Structure 1
Amino acid sequence: MAEIQLKSISKRWGSFVGVQSFDLTIPDREFLVLLGPSGCGKTTTMRMIAGLEGITEGEILVDGKRVNDLDPKDRDVAMVFQSYALYPNMSVYENIRFPLKVRGIDPSTHNEKVMRASAMVELDDFLHRKPAELSGGQRQRVALARAIVREPNVFLMDEPLSNLDAKLRVSTRAQIKNLSHELAVTTIYVTHDQIEAMTLADRVVVMNKGVVQQVGTPTDIYDNPANTFVASFIGSPAMNLIDGTVSGGTFTAPKTSVAGTGLPDGDVTLGFRAEDASLATAGEGQITANIYSLELLGDATMITVRIGPSLVSVKADKSFRAEIGDPVSIAIPHDQCHFFDAGSGQRLQN
């Protein structure tokens, strides 16, 4: 059982701010993902929770107990890193067993615990091998088993899939999802991959430049991004963003007109997702432009047009046929239009 409270934690190195006033309560058994680009502060946040990085300001509480001054070994957390950090001279069995030996766990229980952890990540056929004899995916599973065997209060995972190829990432991601369900342990997972965040998380924390941009369920963040940074970071493709102006309730930009926005006059950014828009009869959509590129995705065709400096995408049926340069009309349902302040990037209520 572990509820984690982060109370205004910050990390600074001189004038450089790594993490700024991070406030969050992580309920027991939640799978929380810290998401953002490189250098946004997500790994620093995790390292502060683990005790590997000192805190400049704020408090970390685990089940109400302040742990700021506890050594990493006393925080009852298990970490899985991007690099597998396995002992090359030990077998898989001994690598998994190692945390039990270090922590002085009763040796008579070791075999049962190792075999249970091994079975969870399907390593029973590889226990006699050395790490050098394993694939990248198998090594990552050894690292997972080594964390599981400790039966910690908290799992911390720092980009554990980033060294795997695309196919292995998908299968290992499914394994982590299933493990989190089986183990029911509070998990904090760091990634820059928004697909990992969307598929694994109970809640996602989107970070940028050390500052939390939005906290919510994957659905919340996808459907209602708090600002243009979140809108442009979440989704594949990212949300289309078009800079324009509202006048008399109508948003206008090159080749674009959306009436009835309900917004006051001013500079505004329109956002909408490719799958929420559709092709319309000529002249009946809010956007009329020439095709810039076409991509067959298998289940759909992605059409891209250029609106000023922006490339804007819309998904069409896989049977759609056209040529680059052909005109298209794009319709956006009114309830799928998102508007952001052009200066601050913050979401506007319309």
Structure 2
Amino acid sequence: MAEINLKGISRRWGDFVGVDDLTLHIPDREFLVLLGPSGCGKSTTMRMIAGLEEVTEGEIWLGDKMVNRLEPKDRDISMVFQSYGLYPNMTVYENIRFPLRIRKVPKDQHHERVMKAAEMVELTGFLDRRPAALSGGQRQRVALARAIVREPNAFLMDEPLSNLDAKLRVSTRAQIANLHHTLKTTTIYVTHDQVEAMTLADRVVVMNKGVAQQVAPPMEIYDRPANTFVASFIGAPAMNLIEGEIAGGTFTSPVLRVEGLPHPVSGPVTLGFRAEDVEVVSEGGNLSAPVYSVEKLGDSTMFAIRAKEDMIALKAGKAADMEIGETVHARIPPGACHVFGPDGQRVEAPGL
């Protein structure tokens, strides 16, 4: 087991900055998720930790050892990739066993360790098969077992569920969570899928353009996004963001007025609120606009309404029944609102 420290690491290719001055402390046994859109620097960060990408500036520490110049094989880290990377001519048993052979682990330990890893990912009935005879989910479990069998200091997982269909993603995600609970090994997990981040992580690093925007537990990121980028990236649907002015605790815009905000700032701001915090009312409220689209989700109903140039998402009960073009009246409670300054950064209310 090992803690991991990234001290001001950067990766540049000429004038292009892939990762910019990233500092992170990842405690032993933590499950850390690097989350962000394509090109944000999350995979580059992982590849630098693994030794697959050169560090332009900064230091990477695994435990008490600075590993910038160590080869990947000497870092005692197991990686699981989006592509399974299995050997097609080997059985499942031999694919799982392969890291032990490469690392010259005594042969009398191989069978016990392979069987233990296979049992953890429920593959004991498939050990004689070759990868071509397996489903995508089973192949990913072979890749997981091959990482487990090494008993490394840390796991690095780079979008391991991207090639799986929706049902398999859910079951494999649960398996990864259970494995982490069992093995208690430091894990860094890269994804663009916020559901994976929210359900798996102890902490999430939200990245954009090579810079960490916020580092916090999942629910803190959801409840208190640090800036408008995080607010717009986390949540399904994303947080509604309306530009306007605030004065004396009252926000006004061409489409919305919210009174009683506990924020002392004045001037131009962006007001944020989530779809589930909007109250659909029969009349009155502080927002009225025609329905643009309706989505029946079974347990709830999602409405999109268009208010001038703003598209606003509302979440109502499953019995809510409105037609496109019909006017919706809604109330946004002041306590559910988030305020962001002209620089896009969160403005905290006093006492928070």
Structure 1 match to 2:64: 64
Decide which moves more: 42-51 or 249-258.
Answer: 249-258
Structure 1 match to 2:81: 81
Amino acid of the structure 1 residue aligned with 2:310? S
- Alignment partner of 1:95: what SS? helix
Decide which moves more: 54-63 or 186-195.
Answer: 54-63
Q: Determine the C-alpha separation between the residues in 2 that align with 1:260 and 1:36.
A: 34
Decide which moves more: 176-185 or 245-254.
Answer: 245-254
Contact 1:242 1:307 in 2 (8 A): no
Q: Determine the C-alpha separation between the residues in 2 that align with 1:40 and 1:323.
A: 39
Structure 1 match to 2:318: 318
Structure 2 match to 1:22: 22
Structure 2 match to 1:282: 283
Decide which moves more: 294-303 or 317-326.
Answer: 317-326
Aligned-pair CA distance for 1:307:
2.4
Determine whether 1:242 maps to 2:242.
yes
Q: Determine the C-alpha separation between the residues in 1 that align with 2:291 and 2:268.
A: 26
- Alignment partner of 1:275: what SS? helix
Decide which moves more: 237-246 or 83-92.
Answer: 237-246
Contact 1:5 1:25 in 2 (8 A): yes
Aligned-pair CA distance for 1:293:
1.4
Q: Determine the C-alpha separation between the residues in 2 that align with 1:276 and 1:252.
A: 18
Amino acid of the structure 2 residue aligned with 1:48? M
Contact 2:33 2:205 in 1 (8 A): yes
Structure 1 match to 2:343: 344
Q: Determine the C-alpha separation between the residues in 1 that align with 2:254 and 2:303.
A: 18
Q: Determine the C-alpha separation between the residues in 2 that align with 1:125 and 1:222.
A: 41
Q: Determine the C-alpha separation between the residues in 2 that align with 1:337 and 1:113.
A: 52
Contact 2:258 2:333 in 1 (8 A): no
Determine whether 1:297 maps to 2:297.
yes
- Alignment partner of 1:48: what SS? helix
Contact 1:32 1:203 in 2 (8 A): yes
Q: Determine the C-alpha separation between the residues in 2 that align with 1:180 and 1:307.
A: 45
Structure 1 match to 2:158: 158
Contact 2:29 2:187 in 1 (8 A): yes
Determine whether 1:209 maps to 2:209.
yes
Decide which moves more: 21-30 or 239-248.
Answer: 239-248
* CA deviation string 1:71-98 (max 9, x = no partner): 1111000000000000011000000000
Contact 2:279 2:330 in 1 (8 A): yes
Aligned-pair CA distance for 1:248:
4.2
Amino acid of the structure 2 residue aligned with 1:267? P
Q: Determine the C-alpha separation between the residues in 2 that align with 1:49 and 1:70.
A: 10
Stretches of structure 1 that go unaligned for 5 or more consecutive residues are none
Amino acid of the structure 1 residue aligned with 2:13? W
* CA deviation string 1:208-237 (max 9, x = no partner): 000000000000000000011100111111
- Alignment partner of 1:288: what SS? strand
Residue pairs, 1:91-110, within 5 angstroms: 91-110=91-110
Amino acid of the structure 2 residue aligned with 1:279? V
Residue pairs, 1:174-189, within 5 angstroms: 174-189=174-189
RMSD of the alignment, in Å? 1.0
Structure 1 match to 2:230: 230
Q: Determine the C-alpha separation between the residues in 1 that align with 2:120 and 2:309.
A: 50
* CA deviation string 1:34-72 (max 9, x = no partner): 000000000000011011111011111111211111111
Q: Determine the C-alpha separation between the residues in 1 that align with 2:125 and 2:169.
A: 21
Residue pairs, 1:7-46, within 5 angstroms: 7-46=7-46
Aligned-pair CA distance for 1:276:
1.4
Residue pairs, 1:265-276, within 5 angstroms: 265-276=266-277
Aligned-pair CA distance for 1:286:
1.9
Decide which moves more: 165-174 or 309-318.
Answer: 309-318
Contact 2:290 2:307 in 1 (8 A): no
Q: Determine the C-alpha separation between the residues in 2 that align with 1:122 and 1:168.
A: 14
Aligned-pair CA distance for 1:245:
1.7
Amino acid of the structure 2 residue aligned with 1:336? A
Aligned-pair CA distance for 1:308:
2.9
Decide which moves more: 311-320 or 74-83.
Answer: 311-320
TM-score normalized by the length of structure 1: 0.97
Which contiguous aligned blocks of 4+ residues in structure 1 show a shift greater than 3 angstroms? none
Structure 2 match to 1:133: 133
Decide which moves more: 245-254 or 305-314.
Answer: 245-254
Amino acid of the structure 2 residue aligned with 1:207? M
Count of aligned pairs between the two proteins: 348
Aligned-pair CA distance for 1:330:
1.2
Aligned-pair CA distance for 1:335:
1.5
Amino acid of the structure 1 residue aligned with 2:114? V
TM-score normalized by the length of structure 2: 0.97
Aligned-pair CA distance for 1:313:
1.1
Stretches of structure 2 that go unaligned for 5 or more consecutive residues are none
Decide which moves more: 149-158 or 237-246.
Answer: 237-246
Q: Determine the C-alpha separation between the residues in 2 that align with 1:131 and 1:317.
A: 45
Contact 1:84 1:143 in 2 (8 A): yes
Determine whether 1:256 maps to 2:256.
yes
